[in-house]
Structure 1
Amino acid sequence: MTNTNPDHTRTILLNRVPEVTLAFWVIKILSTTTGETFADFLNDDVGLGLSLTTWIMGGLLLVALAAQFATKRYTSGVYWTVVVLISIVGTLLTDNLTDVLGVPLWVSTLVFSAVLALTFVIWFARERTLSIHTIFTRRREAFYWIAILFTFALGTAAGDLISEGLGLGYVFGTILFAALIGAIAIARFAFKANVVFCFWAAYILTRPLGASIGDLLSQSPADGGVGVGTTLTSVVFLVIIVAVAVYLGVKVDRQRREALANGAPALVAVAP
C-alpha cells in the first residue's frame, strides 16, 4: 500500500539522507566496522603509515563530499561512499591524536564530546532543528556531515578507551555498546523518548560498537580477537555494504516514482 502522507512524500523527494530503517542501521554499523579495519589495513598491512593513509583518505573524502553536494537529491551510492570514507577519516583523526601526538584516549573522548556538543548547539541555533528528516538545504547538510565526522571520531576514542585503554577487551566492548543501543531503542519505542535525541545517541554508539566488532574479528587471538584479519573483514563487510546500499537505492527510486505518480511535484533544485 502506497504511503500518501504529504510529509512522507516530501521526505522521499527532497531529503538528502536516507530514511531511518533497519537497513540504515545495518549498513551504518557495517560502515563503522569497515572504517576501523580498513584504516588498520592501509596503515599496517599495506604499510602506508598513519600520515600517508590520513592524507589519502582525507582527499578521497573531499572528492566524495563534493560529489554528494553536487547531487540534487539523496543518491544511495554517493551517500554511503561518503559515510564509509568519513568513518575511516574519523578513525584516523583519533589514531593520529593517540599514536602521533600522544593524547590519552580519555582526553580525546572528552574533547570530541565537547566539539560534537558545540556542533549540535550551533546547528540548532541556526536551524531550530537537529532532525535528519529535514536535510533539505546545503547548510543543514553541512552541519549534518560535520556532526557525522565528530560522531565517528568520538566513537573511535570511546571504543578504544573501553576496549584497549581500560583493558576490558573487544568482547566486553561489543556487549556493552550493543546493550546501550538496546536501552536507547527501549526508551524510544516503549517510553516514547525524544526521537531526535535517540537517533543521535544511537548513531554515536554504533561507532564504538562497529569498531569493537571490527577489532574482535580482525585482531589476533593474542590481542583478544578472533584472528580473521583486516583484509578479509574489510572485504566481506564492504561487499555487504554495497549490497544493502543497492537495495536502499532501488527502494528509494521506487518510492520516488510512486510519490510522483500520486501528484507530488518533481524536484528541481536544492535550496542553498
Structure 2
Amino acid sequence: MPRASGPATRSQTRLAQAKEDPAPSLDPDEESLSVAPKFTEKLQFILIDLGDDDQVLGRDAIELRDATATAVTEVWHDAHLSTESLAQQISANNVSLLRELNTSFAAVGERVQAQPVLASCFPDGAFPKLQLFTGSSDSPHFSLWLRRFEDVLRMRGSPFTEEQKANFLIGYLDGTAREKVDEMPEIQRKNYNTLVTHLRSFFESPQQRHLARQALSTCQQGLSETTTAFADRLRNLVRAATTGQDPNARKDAYAYVGERDRRVRSGRERGVGVR
C-alpha cells in the first residue's frame, strides 16, 4: 500500500541530503564520533524514510521488530564469543602462572633441603632441656641417655629426617663422645643409625663393661654424696656392667650390691660398703 504523499519532513530531508552528499564531513567534531557496530547498521535505517506525521503500518512494526531481534541476537552472540575468548585467555594464563609457581616452589624447596639443619632451631617450640653426653664417668649410661634423647625427639609434631636426627644428636654431644663423631667420615655422620651404632660400639664395648664392673666392685657412697645421687651412680654402673646381657644379670648385680651393703652395715666388711 503506497504511503500518502505530503510535505517533506525533516527525516526525509536528512535522508535526501545523505544520498546527495555521500562525501564524509570534514567537521572535526563529527569525525571524532565513534562508528556504530556492524550489527546495528540495519537497525539504524529501519523506517528512516517515515515522516513525523506518517501513519505506522503493521509491516513497519514487524520490520522494526525483526531488525531489533536480529541486532539483539548478534549482540548476544558477540558477547558470548568475547566472554568465551576471555575465559580461555584467563584459564591459559592461570595454567601458565600455576606452572611457574610450582617451578619456583620446587626450586625453593630444593634450596631449603640443601641447607644444614641447626640443632638450636626448633620451630615447634623450645627443645626440652637435656644433659649433654660426654662419655665421662659422670655421664649416664649411653643407652639410658639415648632413650631420653629419642623420647624428646618424639615430642615434636613433625618427624625428622635421618640427617636432621643426626644433626640434633651431634649437637648434644661433647667431650669424648663428640671426638668419636669426628672419627667418622662426613657422609656417615649424616645417618642417624650409623652414628648411634658407632657411639654404642665404643661406650658399650666389652672394655667399657670391664671397667664398669671394676668400678662397681669398689663403689662407695661419698662423704658429701646424697643417697639419691649415689643410687643414680650405682644404677648407671650396673647398667654399664651388664650391657648386652639378659635382665637376670642386671638383677644379680643389684642383688650383689645389696648384699654387700647389708654386710657393710653389719660390720662384716668395715670401710668397704655404704656408710
Pairwise same-fold verdict (TM > 0.5):
no
Larger Rg: 2
User: Which protein has greater RCO, CA pairs closer than 8 Å, 6+ apart?
Assistant: 1
TM-score by length of 2: 0.20
